């Protein structure tokens, strides 16, 4: 019992730290762990006869480890100035929180998932939340086209893919899972429209393909990742985004449109496939 209380205390201390860490932007607004008061999205009435701000749509890119999300995100960013891609905060996981002798939480989770999975999922979800709370850049608000903020993964895949998978593997125990779900639901409901998505792009590829790409990119923390782990993550994605079998706790997310793209193709090296992807994405965005 004392061991369990210590683990829960650690997780709650981390959560509290993220909620109260504050950094000011040059314009005086808050970023980082500060959680701003929720604001309504959509057209904003402007004073002095200026045109209203464009409603910025929010879409996440979902898919297995090493499926090609970052490559695809760079393709989107270079295609249209109305699209702003928010990178997955991997560097934060590799360097924070500071430890006495070790500071790479991603590596710690892979090396000892039984000990560090709950702590890692707490931190990864908070870092994703920070990303989704970032306001869109001014150029998107001035856009006359279809402005879109695109996120590499989201607070939803953190819960319904990675944290759920760790719970099912036994690396997060039932009490930790209950605590995670409780604060996750609270934060998502608290920030409402600020973290809602209008659509999801699902990059779909066989786990074996993902493993081959993972080995090619050579990220040190992932050296021990095996095919069976990628197969489990693939199954979680299929259950959530294709079969719709995952129990979802947010009504809008249950009805969210999903664009599936066949990421088994080496689209990085094929301009023709890239053009096909972009055409599908443009059509998808226009219908959201």
Active centre residues (catalytic) = 152
| Residue 264 among known ligand-binding residues | no
| Residue 102 among known ligand-binding residues | no
| Residue 213 among known ligand-binding residues | yes
| Residue 27 among known ligand-binding residues | no
Tokens 């480890």, residue located: 65
Q: Residues 160, 246: contact at Cβ < 8 Å?
A: yes
198 CB-near residues (< 8 Å, 6+ apart): 57, 58, 59, 256, 257, 288
| Residue 68 among known ligand-binding residues | yes
| Residue 69 among known ligand-binding residues | yes
| Residue 217 among known ligand-binding residues | yes
| Residue 88 among known ligand-binding residues | yes
252 CB-near residues (< 8 Å, 6+ apart): 196
CA dist 5 and 77 (Å) reads 45
Q: Cis link prior to 281 (omega < 30° from 0)?
A: no
CA dist 174 and 219 (Å) reads 31
| Residue 14 among known ligand-binding residues | no
Q: Tokens representing 60?
A: 């996440």
Q: Please give the annotated binding residues, written as ranges.
A: 63-71, 88, 110, 121, 153, 158, 213-217, 222
Q: Please give the annotated binding residues for ATP, written as ranges.
A: 63-71, 213-217
Q: Please give the annotated binding residues for substrate, written as ranges.
A: 88, 110, 121, 153, 158, 222
């Amino acid at each position: 019992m004392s061991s369990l209380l210590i683990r829960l205390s650690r997780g709650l201390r981390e959560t509290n730290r993220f909620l109260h860490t504050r950094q000011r932007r040059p314009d005086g607004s808050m970023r980082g762990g500060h959680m701003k008061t929720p604001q309504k999205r959509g057209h904003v009435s402007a004073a002095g006869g200026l045109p209203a701000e464009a409603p910025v749509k929010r879409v996440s890119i979902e898919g297995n480890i090493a499926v090609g999300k970052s490559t695809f995100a760079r393709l989107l960013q270079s295609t249209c100035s109305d699209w702003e891609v928010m990178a997955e905060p991997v560097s934060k996981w590799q360097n924070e929180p500071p430890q006495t002798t070790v500071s790479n939480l991603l590596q710690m989770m892979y090396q000892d998932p039984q000990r560090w999975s709950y702590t890692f999922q707490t931190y990864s979800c908070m870092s994703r939340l920070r990303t989704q709370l970032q306001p869109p850049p001014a150029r998107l608000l001035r856009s006359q086209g279809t402005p879109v903020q695109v996120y590499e993964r989201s607070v939803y895949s953190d819960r319904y893919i990675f944290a759920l998978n760790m719970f099912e593997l036994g690396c997060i125990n039932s009490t930790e899972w209950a605590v995670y779900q409780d604060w996750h639901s609270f934060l998502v409901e608290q920030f409402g429209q600020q973290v809602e998505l209008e659509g999801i792009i699902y990059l779909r590829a066989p786990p074996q393909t993902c493993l081959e790409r993972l080995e090619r990119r050579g990220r040190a923390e992932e050296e021990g990742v095996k095919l069976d782990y990628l197969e489990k993550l693939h199954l979680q994605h299929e259950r959530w985004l294709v079969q719709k079998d995952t129990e979802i706790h947010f009504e809008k997310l249950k009805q969210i449109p999903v664009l599936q793209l066949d990421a088994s193709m080496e689209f990085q090296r094929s301009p023709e496939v890239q053009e096909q992807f972009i055409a599908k994405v443009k059509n998808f965005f226009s219908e959201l």
